[in-house]
Amino acid sequence: MKMTQSGRRDSFCLENRPIQHTDAMSRIEEASEFNAVLQVNPEALNAAQRSDEERLLRTIGTKSPLHGIPILVKDNIATKDKVGSKPALESSVISKLRAAGVVILGKTNLSEWANFRGLNISNGWSPRGGQTLGTYYPNSTPAGSSSSSAVATALGLSTAAIGTETWCSILGPAELNNVVGFKPIRGLISTDGIIPISSRQDVIGILTRTVKDAAYLLSQMAGRSERDERTWHIPFNPIPDFTTFCKGTDLSGVTIGASFESALQTLSSAGAIVVENADFPQADEFKKLNEHVKGVVRSSEFKRDIYPDRDIGKFLWTQAEGVDIDGDKYKEMVKQEQFFGDEGGILGAMKKYHLDVLVVPADQDIGNDLAANMDSPVISVPLGFWPEDTSVQLDKKKPNLVKVAPGMPYSLIFITKAFPDGVLLQVAHAFEQLTAVRENGPLPIKVPETEMMGIQRKAERM
């Protein structure tokens, strides 16, 4: 991305190698079997050309390091492009990206109702976009609900993509598609202009190929929105340049709790103080927490706010029927969830062991659950690939899709306390640089011919 600042880089290109708008469209067409992109923004070409002219002629200077960079946006985020029906207001985060010079390339598919359509709905399926498929094994699940944002990023259909998360919707797709998934603390990036699920857990996140690219985007997306009260309490002004934390691999003085042997060795070699087997104080109690309680808490607001007068008999939030979200029963359920998102979960472990960052395998359900409940930043970074002798395992939600197979990727998630996002990026970036999993690992099962993966990888090392 840094090539943009010099004015030497065309939009839709990598490392000074021009990729015309028609090539960008060709990439999307070549990857159509993955069903990742719902619609291409008809204004994208004009926006890209304006960005090129602005940088070339220096008419207004470079808006940001993202000036001219193309990104895709999950289809539950409001944009005011000529892409179907227009919302009354555009999402604040999209307006921030436009102000930074970003080119909105189009919209990506997602699990229907962000995976709140039902308990057994396939990840990555919607009636509008069909079934999105994963990128590292034939007929594999992409995870959800930001399925296509991760798939598009993995295939290089755009430089990055924007998604949303209520529970694991950024982290899951990032893992199964071998990309970086960053879920910031709620309130750092405004969520106004997204279709809501839960005011307690909704967050806008970032899918990129490198940690530093996520930092570039975070620096432009973060900040106050008059339409989102949670952003009014950000403890710093102006928003820092988060890329300054993505330098080198020295982790001296950083205390990390981890339980994954290879990760322990890598982080320790970088100078980090590693606390092994840092357990959650109330892990057993959380495992026993009634799934109905979790479902009710996550679904009640969605049920009330979306289609309150329609027939919702087949929808997930029917488990929330009859629950008064202002009543004592519901408040007690919320209190239970909040406890496990705080002292009884990840934050409790961090306080107990005096940790700066906690590291757990991305496929560990308790880690994902607790990370969703807590109001803290989380990032998923590629760790490796399943070996050739791995037995194929099918997705329980959609048995005709593959969840585990030879060559499919898996990840680590890095978690920290509220607002030290810089420390999180520092540790994740160092781990990424030391392991080089994406750089040295296998390619997706199909790479569009016009998407020069080798050039991409070389650019990522710059």
- pLDDT tens string 108-136: 999 998 887 766 778 999 999 999 999 99
Is there a single domain that holds both residue 219 and residue 313? no
Is there a single domain that holds both residue 60 and residue 157? yes
pTM, 2 dp: 0.87
So what's the pLDDT on residue 287?
56
Q: Count Cβ neighbours within 10 Å for each residue of 54-67 and write b for 16 or more, e otherwise.
A: bbeeeeeebbbbbb
Residue 289 lies in a domain: yes
Is there a single domain that holds both residue 293 and residue 238? no
- Other Cβ atoms less than 10 A from the Cβ of 108: the count is 32
Residue 253 lies in a domain: no
Is there a single domain that holds both residue 75 and residue 167? yes
Which tokens is 211 given? 């940690």
Residue 278 lies in a domain: no
Residue 334 lies in a domain: yes
Is there a single domain that holds both residue 237 and residue 300? no
pLDDT tens, residue by residue, 233-248: 999 889 999 999 999 9
Residue 230 lies in a domain: yes
Is there a single domain that holds both residue 289 and residue 430? no
Is there a single domain that holds both residue 167 and residue 213? yes
Q: What is the DSSP letter of 324?
A: -
Is there a single domain that holds both residue 21 and residue 84? yes
Is there a single domain that holds both residue 331 and residue 231? no
Higher pLDDT: 410 or 86? It is: 410
Cβ partners under 8 Å of residue 156, min gap 6: 27, 209, 447, 448, 451, 453, 456
pLDDT tens, residue by residue, 1-23: 544 444 434 444 433 333 345 56
- Give the mean pLDDT of 424-428: 97
Q: Please give the share of the chain, as a percent, with pLDDT higher than 90.
A: 50
Residue 263 lies in a domain: no
- Give the mean pLDDT of 395-406: 89
Is there a single domain that holds both residue 299 and residue 430? no
Q: Mind telling me the catalytic residues?
A: 74, 145, 169
* Nearest C-alpha neighbor of 199 from the set 229, 169, 224, 171: 229
- Number of folded domains that form the chain: 2
Parent domain of 453: 2-246+360-460
pLDDT tens, residue by residue, 34-82: 999 999 998 888 888 888 888 777 665 567 889 888 999 999 999 998 6
Residue 154 lies in a domain: yes
Residue 183 lies in a domain: yes
- H/E run at residue 27: helix 21-30
Is there a single domain that holds both residue 333 and residue 378? no
Highest mean pLDDT of the ranges 263-277, 282-296, 340-354, 423-437: 423-437
415: CATH: 3.90.1300.10
- Give the mean pLDDT of 364-375: 68
User: End-to-end CA distance of the chain, in Å?
Assistant: 9
Cβ partners under 8 Å of residue 69, min gap 6: 1, 4, 11, 101, 102, 103, 159, 160
Is there a single domain that holds both residue 72 and residue 216? yes
